[in-house]
Amino acid sequence: MIKAEASCNRNVNRAGAVFGVTALGVIGSIVFLLLPMLIGAFSENLSLSATQVGLIGSADMTGMFIAAVVATAWIRRYNWRAVAALACGLLISCHLLSGFVQAFLPLYLIRVLAGFAGGSLMSIALTSLGDTRHPDRFFALFIAGQLTLGGLGLWLFPGLLAWFGLGGVFGALAVVVLGATLLIPLISQQGRRIEPAALPKSSIRARDRVMLPGVMALLACFIFNLGIMAVWAYLERMGNAAGLQAGFIGSTLAVSLFGALFGALLAAMIENRFGRVMPLVVTVMVQVVALLLLSGELSRNAFLVGVMLFAFGWNFPVAYQLAITVSIDVSGRLVVLFLSAVKLGYAAAPIVAAQLIMMGQGFTPVIVLSAAGLVTSTLIFVSLAVLITRGRGMSE
C-alpha cells in the first residue's frame, strides 16, 4: 500500500467523490444481496452438502468481516485510491476463478478473498461518507445504490445462470467491477484529518465513556444483521419448499429490492426530521409483520408481501443505525467496526440457519431467531439514540 501524502485531496463532500465511493462500495458489497439465488445455485449445481453450501454462502461475508477489522489499522493512513485499485484487481480475479472452481475448499477460500477485496472497498466508502457533512443522507443513498444494483442482479440472475451457468454469473460480476475501476480517480485520497487536539482533554475518561456505547452499537449491529441474513439467505429455499416457481421467486426477490429502494430513499429524504427513535420503532413493527407472513403457509401473495416488507424493514433503518454509531466516536474508526459487525452477522447467519434447518423443524426456528434478533437490536439502538440526544456519556 502507498501512504497518502500530506497534500492529498481530502474533500469528501465533492459530488464526484461521493458518487465514486458510493459506486465502488456498492459494487464491492453486492454479492450479499444475490445470496439467496447463489445459495440455490450452489445447492443445485455443485456437489456440496447443506453445511458446505452454508459455509460457501458465508465466505464472502467472512472476508468482508476480516477486511473491515483490518481497515481500522489502515483507513486513516493509506491512499484510498491505491487501496481501491488493488482491491478491484483482486475482486475481478476472484470472480473469474469462482466460475470454474467446483471443489469446496478452493471455492471457499476464493470467496473469502473476494469478500476481503469487496470489504476493503466498502470500508473506504463508509468511512468517506461518514466524513461528509450529511452522513445520514449519504448512508441512505448508499443503501439505495445497493438495492438498485442488487435488484437488477436478481432480475438477471436466472437468465445468466440458465444460459451460461455459474461462470456466466461470476463473469458478469467481474465485468461490473472492471467498469467500476474507472471511478477510482474520482474518490478522495483520504478523508478528514483526526487531529490529537480534536480529542477531549480528558481523553482516557472520554474513551472509557465511548467504549460501552460503542460496544453496544456493534453488538446491536451484529444481532440485527444476523437476524436479517438468516432469513434473507434462505428465502429462495423457503419459496422452493412451498412449491413456488423459481421464476416467481427470483422476480419477487428482485422486485423486493426495488421496493426497498423506497425505504432507503425515504430515509435520505427525511434524514433526522423525526429523530432516530421513531424510524427504528416503525421498522421493527414492519419486520415482525413480515416474519409472521413468512412463517405461515406460503402462498404467492403471502411470499410477495412478506418479502417486500422484510426488504423495506432491512434497509430503511440502516442509515439511522450508522448515524447513531458515528455520533458515538470522534475518531471515525467505529464506523469501520460497524461494517465488521455487519459482515460478522452476515457470515454467521447462513451457518446458524443451516444448523437450525437441519434440526428438522423447517424454517420456523430461523424465523424465530430473526424476530428475537431484530427486536433486541432495535431496543439497543433506541437506548443509544436516547443517550445521544441527552448527551449522556457521549463524546462530541
Q: Please answer whether residues 96 and 170 qualify as being in contact, where contact means their C-beta atoms are separated by less than 8 angstroms.
A: yes
> Is residue 9, in this structure, part of any structural domain at all?
no
The pLDDT of residue 182 = 94
Find the domain containing 146 and state its range: 15-190+202-390
> Is residue 396, in this structure, part of any structural domain at all?
no
DSSP string of 58-84, one letter each residue: HHHHHHHHHHHHHHHHHTTTB-HHHHH
Q: What is the pTM of this model?
A: 0.72
Q: Please answer whether residues 246 and 158 qualify as being in contact, where contact means their C-beta atoms are separated by less than 8 angstroms.
A: yes
Query: 76-87 burial string, b = 16+ CB within 10 Å, else e?
Result: bebbbbebbeeb
Q: Please answer whether residues 19 and 92 qualify as being in contact, where contact means their C-beta atoms are separated by less than 8 angstroms.
A: no
> Is residue 1, in this structure, part of any structural domain at all?
no
> Is residue 2, in this structure, part of any structural domain at all?
no
317: its cell numbers: 433503518
Domains in the chain, number: 1
- 249, with CB counted inside 10 A (0-12, 13-18, 19+), is buried
Q: Please answer whether residues 205 and 389 qualify as being in contact, where contact means their C-beta atoms are separated by less than 8 angstroms.
A: no
The angle formed by the CA atoms of residues 139, 29 and 328, to the nearest 5 degrees, is: 40
> Is residue 168, in this structure, part of any structural domain at all?
yes
> Is residue 395, in this structure, part of any structural domain at all?
no
Q: Please answer whether residues 267 and 136 qualify as being in contact, where contact means their C-beta atoms are separated by less than 8 angstroms.
A: yes
Half-sphere exposure for 116 (CA within 13 Å, toward CB):
13
Bridge partners, residue 3, by sequence = 78
CATH code, domain carrying 215: 1.20.1250.20
Distance CA 227, CA 119 (A): 20
What 3-state DSSP class applies to 359?
A: coil
Mean pLDDT by 10 residues, the chain (396 residues): 47 84 90 78 76 82 87 86 95 92 88 94 87 77 81 81 84 92 89 51 48 87 92 86 84 79 77 77 92 87 91 84 78 71 82 82 88 94 83 46
The pLDDT of residue 393 = 42
- 296, with CB counted inside 10 A (0-12, 13-18, 19+), is exposed
> Is residue 5, in this structure, part of any structural domain at all?
no
Distance CA 75, CA 175 (A): 27
Query: 315-331 burial string, b = 16+ CB within 10 Å, else e?
Result: bbbbbbbbbbbbbbbbb
> Is residue 7, in this structure, part of any structural domain at all?
no
CA 378 to each of CA 155, 177, 220, 371, 385: distance values in angstroms, whole numbers, following the listed order: 31, 34, 7, 11, 10
Bridge partners, residue 78, by sequence = 3
